[in-house]
Chain A
Amino acid sequence: MTEARSNPETGGRRSRSWARRVVGEVLLRWGARLGIGWIALLTLVAILAPVLATSHPLLIQTADGTWSMPFLRYLTAADVTLFGLLALALVFWRLPGRPWRRFGLWAVLGAVLAVVAWQTVSPPSLVIHEQYREAERMGEYQTVIRAPIPYSPRDYLRDYADTGLEAPREDPDRVHWFGTDDTGADVLSRMIHASRIALSIGFIATGIALGIGVILGGLMGYFSGIVDMIGMRLVEIFEAIPTLFLLLTFVAFFGRSLYLMMLIIGLTSWSGYARYVRAEFLRLRQQDFVQGAIASGLSLPSILFRHMLPNGIAPILVAASFGVASAILAEATLSFLGLGLVDDPSWGQMLNQAVQSSTFNWWMAAFPGGAIFLTVFAYNLIGEALRDAVDPHARSAARTANRDAGARPAAGAGASGATSGGVR
């Protein structure tokens, strides 16, 4: 008995949970690895955008020998929060403890940080990008360390030349890896900053849709009957709304706002998730283990959230990863139509600029277009792999199961040996 009670965390016998198996299955596929790698890279780039692409030097030493970091003054509250979250995540990654508890603590600290940042941080509203370059030319600094892409997204070349357009690496004095647009802003810098919008609209819009869909779908599936009837009619109503036209209308009435866009995409795309969850719950209710849980006298929350939801979540996650991709596309479409954000660059808006430009400049279309394509493709790859991983009939899943069974012959043989001994 003591052996069985001995710490399960350290015992090699403890087997992998379902979630870990699915993650393992997903990571077996090279497509998913590429997809996850690209999204991870993009996330990192998006968070670190103000360090990677800014006109303000990262570090300077003035003639009198004092050091300073000018780019810090121009950070927004959002930048500070994101940096803080990244730092906290790195710390918590190493910290021992239960994953959920660590995640909770991380989220709470992140929220506190966000509130503090929004209260205290106020970057100057007037930004003169040329200021430090000017000073450098005048030889005011002893040392200057610049960002890898030393141009802010809104660092237009007004103070530099009349014609803005430059092909990639045209001018050896001012290297623009991906060229510049009509206004002379660096395309790569704009793309890096735009990746924030692409990622956040995908995650938040899908998060809203997922939250509404799971709750409504779960209620419909578990209670069925009249709740289901009303819920399904609601789903049908929302499915009849064309998201894009609603967005156009709202933009026309309430102006352009990223948050409004997220909200509308989220509010109109939950119906698919609700259908999935409902179908899963209807099926799971009839399963023997749910009936067994009821027969054991377990409480309703436990039945719903411990026994039913984890079993029904898989197809929803698959749908969600495709949903993120389509939300990104919706934003890109809107921006392309010229109804996106005015000030902040987004990939769709950059495509729009490429089209509006008087001459066709391939770098203005190819790079943002490629980024949209790669990101949507990455989410689709992840979704595809997730679907295969949770599908028990998928071929590769069976192959892994075989390998697992082969790797553990000793345990299986021991168990069956003990049992036949007990019966004889």
Chain B
Amino acid sequence: MLEVRNLQIRHRDTEAPLVEGASFAIRGGELFALVGESGSGKSITALAIMRLLDEGFERPTGEVWLAGREGRQELLGLPGAVMQRVRGDRIGMIFQEPMTSLNPVLTVGDQIEEVLRLHRPQMSPEQRAARTLEVLREVQLPNPEQRRDEYPHKLSGGQRQRVMIAMALVAEPDLLIADEPTTALDVTIQAEILKLIDHLREKNGMAVLLITHDFGVVASVADRVAVMREGRLVEQGECLPLLRDPQDAYTRKLIQALPENLPPLPPVPGAGRDALLQVSGLQVHFPVLKGLMRRQVDVVRAVDDVSFDLENGEVLAVVGESGCGKTTLGRAILRLIEPTGGEIRYRGESLTRMPRKPLRRLRRHLQVVFQDPASSLNPRLNVLTLLTEPMAVHGIGTDTDERIALAGRVLDQVALPEDTLWRYPHEFSGGQRQRIAIARALVLDPDVIICDEVTSALDVSVQAEVLQILGRLRAERRLAMIFITHDMGVVEYFSDRMLVMHDGRMEEIGTTAEVLANPKADYTRHLLDAVPRVSRYL
């Protein structure tokens, strides 16, 4: 159906080509996955096939042949007007971010019909409306008659992604390009969307080019796979044989970096001797204000009645889908958000109603590392200042020289060179920045670190590095961690106990092995089923 031969893409500002000599073919009815880490050139390849690269790029060289009901065509050489008819008509495309890829001022139905008006001008308005309804039904959007006349903001992320798929499919294309279609979605919704794409592929017999970084997704739906690294296809072949027995060193490294394949963590000496943190009946309610007088009409129960103990050296994973309150829980424990009810005790001392001054002294024992390494470090200060300022506030180290020495030692522990101190955050990659953020938490020599999705924004190989550094630190310093995440592989690899949250409530808590082996709550079971795991398919 689609054949790409020796595709080469260059950007005007960089010397090395971004995609070099990529060749692959997708058969009709086949789901072809293009896998790679961020920056490997997989999205650019898709955009080049659609001829949607912006002006900063040079015209791609090579050949892109599209076969189908209108015969074989070479896309790179087509005139712009003809190409416009190919887009949307013969190739449909869905993007990663469903929140921004729909136009907020047009109704869902209008946006789908617009595709038809363009590509099926012979259809009457009634036919178009009927086809729109049909395709909305096809993507299993609940209440399609009503949804058709609604605006995108009324739909959830998963529903918007369904609308995007409907838009891509309404003209019955020969090829669907899906660029990370589920990355921004929760696992349970991801499972539904993947199932839907797979189902529609079988029904319509179209080819699908799926771009993803997630080997679990690849293993669960792809027929064939190509692995991309720095613009080159290092390996391609049938999906399961390739994953089982990768031939290329890079593919092997990627698969070995999956949490389930990582070497076991070092044991923690003297873990679990004393209870560090006791959380009982914690509640965080946000008032819903309405009207001119800002009267409180309702509350949002972001965290409702959560209780657990944390012992030293222990890792407690807090698991749940987006919006379940796991981040709010983490921030409430640190009192970055004021809890509305319940109690938090650190070594027997209640934090909940502690005045600001003593709380500031206590903060050195409870530290936090955030999800997004791009925003968690102050871009205006160099690493030295970032690390030594908290030390000075808490009276660690007697003078600047001693603090610099301490900071250097901590950087060494997170495997960063010492000259890091004199640089600014923007000079580092995401993984390096995340390690700086960990170092900032460590300089205060805390007992507890709250890790809020620390590996979610990272590539799988970088994630492996960060996890191993955290594991080693935990063994060396007997650190306790609250590990907030949605990634079950990480949970299984890294945590001793896990707490499952749903809609602000605690569904289940227990040792990780036990919960994963036989979940008690229905929700946990539902969640675990939805997680695509490579190991399940091999």
Contact = CB atoms under 8 A, between A and B. Distances in A.
A288 B375 contact: yes
B318 to A, nearest CB: 17
A15 B393 contact: no
B393 A297 contact: yes
A105 interface: no
Given A298-B389, A399-B13, A293 B378 contact: yes
A400 to B, nearest CB: 10
Interface residues of B, number: 59
Given A288-B370, A295-B336, A402-B14, A15 B427 contact: yes
Contacts of B331: 291
Contact of A296 (B363, B380, B429): B363
B302 interface: no
Contacts of A11: 422
A5 B404 CA distance: 7
Contacts of B14: 402
Nearest to B362: A297
B267 interface: no
Contacts of A294: 336
Contacts of A256: none
Contacts of B424: 15-18
B419 A4 contact: yes
Contacts of A15: 382, 422-424, 427
B70 to A, nearest CB: 38
Interface string B358-371: 01111110111011
Interface stretch (A35-43, A246-254, A325-333, A416-424): A416-424
Contacts of B368: 291-292, 295
A122 B381 CA distance: 49
Interface in B334-391: 334, 336, 359-364, 366-368, 370-372, 375-382, 384, 389-390
A423 B421 CA distance: 20
A423 B462 CA distance: 10
Contacts of B431: 419
Interface bin, chain A: 35 or more
Nearest to B359: A297
A68 interface: no
B67 interface: no
Interface string A73-103: 0000000000000000000000000000000
Contacts of B111: none
B106 to A, nearest CB: 26
Contact of B405 (A1, A307, A399): A1
B375 A297 contact: no
Contacts of A13: 419, 422-423
A419 B336 contact: no
Nearest to A408: B427
B261 to A, nearest CB: 15
Contacts, number: 129
B468 interface: yes
A14 B404 CA distance: 15
A414 B417 contact: yes
Interface in A377-419: 395, 398-399, 402, 408, 411-412, 414-416, 418-419
A292 B436 CA distance: 13
Given A4-B418, A11-B422, A287-B375, A311 B393 contact: no
B535 to A, nearest CB: 23
Interface string B156-191: 000000000000000000000000000000000000
A5 B393 contact: no
A14 B422 contact: yes
B415 A296 contact: no
Contacts of A408: 427
Contacts of A295: 334, 336, 363, 366-368
A139 interface: no
Contacts of B389: 296, 298, 302, 306
Central interface residue in A4, A293, A399, by most chain B CB within 10 Å: A4
Nearest to A287: B375
A16 B427 CA distance: 10
A1 B408 CA distance: 7
Contacts of A421: 415
A420 B431 CA distance: 11
A407 to B, nearest CB: 12
A370 interface: no
Nearest to A286: B375
A416 B429 contact: yes
A293 B440 CA distance: 10
B401 interface: yes
B432 interface: yes
A292 B376 contact: yes
A300 to B, nearest CB: 9
17 contacts: A11-B422, A15-B423, A18-B380, A288-B372, A288-B375, A291-B336, A291-B370, A297-B362, A297-B390, A297-B394, A302-B393, A307-B381, A395-B56, A418-B415, A419-B431, A419-B465, A423-B465
Interface of B: 13-14, 56, 331, 334, 336, 359-364, 366-368, 370-372, 375-382, 384, 389-390, 393-394, 401, 404-405, 408-409, 415-424, 427-429, 431-432, 435, 437, 440, 444, 464-465, 468-469
Given A292-B368, A295-B368, A306-B381, 7 more contacts: A14-B422, A17-B380, A295-B366, A295-B367, A307-B378, A408-B427, A418-B417
